Amino acid sequence: MNSQIAGNDILDVEITNISSHGIWLFTENQEFFMPYEDFPWFKDATIRDVLIVEKQSPGHFYWPNLDVDLSVEMIENPRRFPLMSKVQA
């Protein structure tokens, strides 16, 4: 028996794990860890609100229930982007 060739990946973005330290986001065959220390918006959010993420464009993500807007560059280099959050870490 032969397996068929896999089709295109239709999943644009997915939260693959939520832990006591942060969340993992998977997109475009890459996984990114976002620690709560650098991304405090997610720390006390509900699981549902964290899981509802939209890919606005390549490398650009939006969590509508949290009003959080991040790019891959921000995720990879959080120290280069000052936090503009009212959430206390």
pLDDT in tens, 35-85: 999 999 999 999 999 999 999 999 999 999 999 999 999 999 998 887 665
Collapsing DSSP to helix, strand or coil, 62 comes out as strand
Is 62 part of a structural domain of the chain?
A: yes
Is 56 part of a structural domain of the chain?
A: yes
Is 6 part of a structural domain of the chain?
A: no
Is 2 part of a structural domain of the chain?
A: no
Report the half-sphere exposure of 28 (CA within 13 A, side-chain side).
Answer: 8
Number of folded domains that form the chain: 1
What does the pLDDT read at residue 62? Answer: 97
Q: What is the pTM of this model?
A: 0.80
Range of the domain at 37: 14-80
Is 87 part of a structural domain of the chain?
A: no
Is 76 part of a structural domain of the chain?
A: yes
Is 7 part of a structural domain of the chain?
A: no
Contact indicator for 77, 34 with CB cutoff of 8 Å:
no
Residue 35 CA to residue 33 CA, distance in Å, equals: 6
Helices then strands (H, E): number in the chain? 2, 6
Is 60 part of a structural domain of the chain?
A: yes
